[in-house]
Chains A and B, each alone.
Chain A
């Protein structure tokens, strides 16, 4: 069965890019548009990996990551955070929130896929 990736991202264009990228690479994509919906989907679907955007309406990506990593049932799911800019200090905050890895926006789909494959060989 193909691995399932939960994408928490509020921009339709970015979701479309990920849909095309991940679908082409043989992954199944689950989508959530807000931090709250992401938490609910993570609990209900138990994905193999989570791609988490930072700037989300409502609960932001840091807080969502923190809550997922505080949940004993979900903390083993690797989280890759998509931060806005390498030197903005977001990477530090993302690590503090407990993410496993991060990529910076604009992310290169090619590099993102390489990163995902590190966790889902």
Chain B
């Protein structure tokens, strides 16, 4: 009988046992061969164990990620329900349903409302982002008209621009091909870019320009705002990063809009960027393939 230990540097993980009928010692060559075989077995066993461990870790991670997304989805619903009551009651009071509030009370209620809406914006943005991170946001791919997307954003934000005495312009080519993509999400991106441009521009204009080239749309939002230093141009596409952290408070906004926009554009196989220098205004632009097909694994 010959016993060869299966050795790892730190311990023995098993034994290789060989028996034969003939009495006497094993030849040295056989012993050498079995030792080599034992070494290889140690490696194979280790690999198999590692593989099983990685598989198990992967399963645990997937489960954790699912739990996390489910938790966020539930939480955002739970957060929104009381917010509904806060915003609802304050609007009813402002609409004189419970009698006429004083001017001072009105002022306070309007603050309650605007803070409530800001909180809602944050909850929605966090939910959006967490869904994207968890790979749970599926694009809903359909035919769309880029012209209509631009027009709906124009209509939604025109009054905001007018209130700041900014000109909001639209520059579209005479004809644009029908696009294929998630219209609602593309609208969300453009709303975000134009909303930002209006928010950070104090005088002058904001222009939305669309063009088509090499099977892709390019949509650019140009403003005459303060501009963004080169050092900050990458950072602003990350979560909770604004050029000036104090601007979150003074300008409102969640600090998540560009991060979400970047992900939406990338999910469409496109890219988003900014061209700007300080004092020269900024142009935020994104390029989208005209026809986007659902990615594998997406519904």
Binding site for B on A (CB under 8 A): 11, 13-14, 17, 20-21, 24, 55, 84-85, 87-89, 92, 105-110
Contact = CB atoms under 8 A, between A and B. Distances in A.
B81 interface: yes
B188 A108 contact: no
Contact of A105 (B84, B97, B98): B84
Interface of A is mostly: helix
Given A24-B97, A85-B127, A92-B140, A11 B81 contact: yes
28 contacts: A13-B85, A13-B89, A14-B81, A14-B85, A17-B84, A17-B85, A17-B88, A17-B92, A20-B97, A20-B98, A21-B92, A85-B80, A85-B124, A87-B184, A87-B188, A88-B127, A105-B81, A105-B84, A106-B87, A106-B88, A106-B116, A106-B120, A107-B84, A107-B88, A108-B88, A109-B88, A109-B91, A110-B95
- Size category of the B interface is 20 to 34
Nearest to A54: B77
Contacts of B77: 55, 84
Interface in B183-217: 184-185, 188
Contacts of B185: 87
A14 B84 contact: yes
A109 B113 CA distance: 13
A89 B140 contact: yes
Contact of B91 (A55, A87, A89, A110): A110
B267 interface: no
A105 B80 contact: yes
Which of A14, A17, A106, A110: most chain B CB closer than 10 A? A106
A2 to B, nearest CB: 17
Contact of A17 (B83, B89, B184, B188): B89
Contact of B97 (A11, A21, A89): A21
Contacts of B98: 20
